[in-house]
Amino acid sequence: MIVGSISENKDLENRVALTPDIIKKYKSLGLEVNLEKDYASHLGINDKDYEKQGANILPSDEEVILNSNAILQMNIPNDNILSKLNEKQILIGVLNPYFNEKKLKEITSKNINCFSLELLPRITRAQSMDILSSQANLAGYKAVVDSFAYFQKAIPMMMTAAGTISAAKVLVVGAGVAGLQAIATAKRMGAIVYATDVRLASKEQVESLGGKFLTVEGSENLETEGGYAKETSEEFKVKQEELLKETLKKIDIIICTALIPGKKAPIIIKKDMIEVMQNGSVIYDLAASQGGNSELTKVNEIIDSNGVKIMGEANILNKLPVSASNLYSKNMFNFVNNLFNKEKKTFEINYEDEIIEKTIVK
């Protein structure tokens, strides 16, 4: 059996699904690996680096697709590539079925099995495959680093002969994986950190990292069985807005990370809240690609609203593509390892396996 991967659209995505160090693991399973020429040259990784580990370099994406049983990608390929997939092939990646529903229905109707890794269940056995956690960790870290670079004051408290500089105050909206990493990174750099989340279970995690958890009075735990946040009531939103508006008067930097899987990001930071923030403050919106947590966020633009900079990139991990690719490729291998029957030496779709049942696009 053969797995293959082709180049992503580099205008949108710098990450790759396979890095050289993971090729040996595929080979140890008895799988061959086909890659398109110059597959990761933009990351400074040469084809020879892959060939040394046992990968086959083919001249075109079409050759890879025609000669592979499973196609392993970062994102869903374009329509031209999808049209080349054959019956009984397997496509694995971050396929975003909520937003690519029509496209995926067309290819699954051709008896092509598609697996979307962001749908992995939050169970212990799936932790090594959890692409949301591995990528969100890096995103939370990078959002803090970038926002601090735009902030025109020192971050930690500094006591000098000329006087004392106060520590920057950071608010992290959403205490999932990205938010918790943002809290940890900001604390390490000397900031005073506050955080808010609709999941009350996050309070203990925030405080264990040295953050101060903002609790909406009378709030209930708004967490799904899968561990994700769910939509709030109108009453909760009003109370949250009142709490945030008062808090934002003293906040220097906001890191927004709140997302609801498959839906538009909730708008949490309203325009009137931004108006009370101090001149020179920064908002970094990691939810920008899904509409943003800030009312004024625009994808891939830096907005200046009365001296407050609002930043939102479509894909912040394009700034950390090597680290992100290394983690993603390990997640991908662990998923393929679970899908591959070592005794029969074939891919086996076992619907009794929760990992497979939850990730297959139906």
Q: What is the C-alpha separation between 205 and 219, in angstroms, rounded?
A: 18
Q: What is the C-alpha separation between 294 and 193, in angstroms, rounded?
A: 19
Going from the C-alpha of 146 to that of each of 78, 289, 316, the distances in angstroms are 31, 17, 10
Among candidates 313, 331, 288, 315, which has minimal Cα distance to 14? Answer: 315
- Please enumerate, as own/partner, the contacts of 269-275 that have beta carbons within 8 Å and a separation of 24 or more: 269/173, 269/244, 269/293, 269/294, 269/295, 270/241, 270/295, 271/295, 271/296, 271/305, 272/245, 273/241, 273/244, 273/245, 273/248, 274/248, 274/305, 274/306, 274/308, 274/310, 275/305, 275/306
Based on DSSP, count helices (H) and strands (E) in the chain, helices before strands.
Answer: 12, 17
The DSSP secondary-structure symbol of 116 reads E
Among candidates 195, 198, 191, 192, which has minimal Cα distance to 180? Answer: 195
C-beta separation of 195 from 212 below 8 A: yes
Q: What is the C-alpha separation between 338 and 355, in angstroms, rounded?
A: 9
And the tokens for 52?
């040394």
The H-assigned helical ranges of 90-130 are 101-108
The H-assigned helical ranges of 131-201 are 131-150, 177-188
Output phi, psi for 359, to 5 deg. Answer: -95, -20
CA atoms within 13 A on the CB side of 197: 33
Which amino acids are annotated catalytic?
Answer: 122, 127, 130, 133, 228
3-class SS of residue 341: strand
Longest CA span, the chain:
73
